[in-house]
Structure 1
Amino acid sequence: MLRGRWLAMLALCLVVAGVFAWLGQWQLGRAIDTTPPEPGMTEKVQPLTEVVEPGEYLAEPLVGQRVTTSGTWVPEDFIVVSGRFNDGIAGYWVTGQLRVAERTSIAVAIGFAPTREKADAAASALSSRGAEQAEITGRVISDEGPVVTRDPFDLNRMSPAALLSRWHEIDQLDVYRPYLASAEATAGLDDISSPAPEERSSVNWLNIFYAIEWAIFAGFAFYLWYRLAKDAWEREVEDFEDRRNASAAS
């Protein structure tokens, strides 16, 4: 085991184990949030522009943050989204494009309806009002992502990306990636049930698991060196004994 090649392999194992140990330490550093969000932070109403910018992804600690914004509805873009649940009741959301700046919009879930007929009637009533001014307070929530359905005209996910494909006046339009769930419904709709998000733990157990894995990999690097060196040594001992036995027999 003290031969040059095995010492060289041991040095290589030390380097590999050192890299694994550094990766494990890095994972541990990410596993514990030293600056967790303050309790109840999501319940403090903030201006939308201070929470997220158009085109940006919503940071995980800010999902469900209560925000406020104002703008003008685009009359042609009140769209019904199916597959919604309100306190366990299946139904629909009526959504709209709120133009919060000259060329900037956010998708807003305005309210809940238990039937498609009621949702369609509310969307039609909102469209008939024209380009109304509105001030919205609600929770900002990440895009659910579009899903392909059998009916291309049926939307069953709250996805600003999917809604954008049906909106009007979208040339050079900046759009918020998350959507806004309004706290108060209009047009005879029911308020959307949107409770405060659960408080996040300051410990990320998945990262701790990864850190343990890196420690195991580092130990395995030394075990592999030991196993290979021992096997080589045992073969050399066997060859030596075979040669000695052959010499004694002759």
Structure 2
Amino acid sequence: MIDQAPAEDPDLEEFPPTLREVMLRPRWIGMLLVCLVVAGIFAWLLQWQLSRALAPEVVPEGATEEVLPISEVVEPGDYLPGPLVGQRIDVTGTWDPDNFLTVSQRMNDGVEGVWVTGRFVTDEGAALATAIGWAPDRAAAQDAIEVLSATADDEPRELSGRLIADEGPVPAPGDDPYEMIRMSPAAHLGQWTDVDGDVYRQFLATTDPTAQLADAGLEEIIATAPTHESTLNWLNVFYAVEWALFAAFSFYLWYRLAKDAWERELEELAGIDPDDLDDER
């Protein structure tokens, strides 16, 4: 026979309660309502993240072909929104004669060669890594750098081209620790000298041939209009999954707390083992 709880203690049941009976008490019904509110907030956040993942902001077709001042597209130090990658821009500034570099393994119309790059200082004093032109090999690229360094001056120049996001620095397979095989402003910044002011996170691929390119023996970089093959933002999908897990956890927390309260109550009843009651149910 199961021992009855002492009559003078009104908080204890006359007979051992079930977990269901504990969950139906006003206290735990109230806790469940709180969990429903919290889960509702998480569900709203989940829906918001999915709406951004499945219908991200995109620019109208052909908008990237309109030439805009760089200040209307991105500010120094800011990240470039995905839909604006490849945006045609123009910018005015001067060349730094001491910071022309090369980037290997660059394809131009299906032919591998070398990009000659430079540090272009805008009128606002921000540094913009710029891919100036294409050379067939490192020797031709070095010859072009000598010409560019000798002809660079303080005369303001206007450049136009496509603004492209950082490709990310990648170690070159050769023995030269300074060789670059990706167009990365971060990697360029590590090799530039005497850099003052802000730096753009993006780089400019010039698309207009100039006399300077001809004098240096460089070919124009072929930079085509960007294509957007996917409209699914996986980062927002990941956040949506997180909110779903948080909503599920709020209900699990309610269940776990109610069960803990039930088990503590059973411990107050002599000779009652919660595991035995689980078997009976």
TM-score by length of 2: 0.69
* Alignment of structure 1 residues 137-152 onto 2, 5 Å: 137-149=160-172, 151-152=176-177
Letter matched to residue 178 of structure 1: Q
Letter matched to residue 85 of structure 2: V
* Alignment of structure 1 residues 106-185 onto 2, 5 Å: 106-131=128-153, 133-149=156-172, 151-170=176-195, 172-185=196-209
Compared CA separation, residues 100 and 209, structure 1 to 2 (3 A): closer
Matched-pair contact (CA < 8 Å) for 2:114–2:137 = yes
SS for the counterpart of 2:51 is helix
Compared CA separation, residues 201 and 188, structure 1 to 2 (3 A): same
Compared CA separation, residues 204 and 228, structure 1 to 2 (3 A): same
CA distance in 2, matches of 1:196, 1:42: 7
Compared CA separation, residues 241 and 206, structure 1 to 2 (3 A): closer
- 1:215-245 CA-to-partner distances (Å, cap 9, x unmatched) read 5764676588789989x8xx98x74998xxx
* Alignment of structure 1 residues 190-201 onto 2, 5 Å: 190-199=219-228
SS for the counterpart of 2:191 is coil
Aligned residues: 240
Compared CA separation, residues 13 and 100, structure 1 to 2 (3 A): closer
CA distance in 2, matches of 1:155, 1:208: 34
Deviation at 1:20, TM superposition (A): 2.8
CA distance in 1, matches of 2:28, 2:230: 46
- 1:128-187 CA-to-partner distances (Å, cap 9, x unmatched) read 2131543211001112233445532212221222223333442x3222221100003512
SS for the counterpart of 1:143 is coil
CA distance in 1, matches of 2:225, 2:168: 22
Matched-pair contact (CA < 8 Å) for 1:111–1:184 = no
Deviation at 1:210, TM superposition (A): 5.4
TM-score by length of 1: 0.77
Which structure's CA Rg is the greater one?
2
Compared CA separation, residues 208 and 75, structure 1 to 2 (3 A): closer
C-alpha RMSD of the superposition: 3.5
Matched-pair contact (CA < 8 Å) for 1:110–1:184 = no
Gaps of 5+ in 2: 1-19, 263-272
Deviation at 1:42, TM superposition (A): 0.5
Gaps of 5+ in 1: 243-250
Matched-pair contact (CA < 8 Å) for 2:56–2:233 = no
Greater CA drift, 189-198 or 13-22: 13-22
SS for the counterpart of 1:93 is strand
* Alignment of structure 1 residues 1-250 onto 2, 5 Å: 1=20, 2-4=24-26, 6-7=28-29, 10-33=32-55, 36-101=58-123, 103-131=125-153, 133-149=156-172, 151-170=176-195, 172-185=196-209, 186=213, 187-199=216-228, 204=233, 207=236, 211=240, 214-215=243-244, 218=247, 239=277
Deviation at 1:3, TM superposition (A): 3.7
CA distance in 2, matches of 1:240, 1:79: 73
- The alignment-based identity, stated in percent, is 52
CA distance in 2, matches of 1:15, 1:137: 53
Compared CA separation, residues 181 and 217, structure 1 to 2 (3 A): same
CA distance in 2, matches of 1:240, 1:162: 63
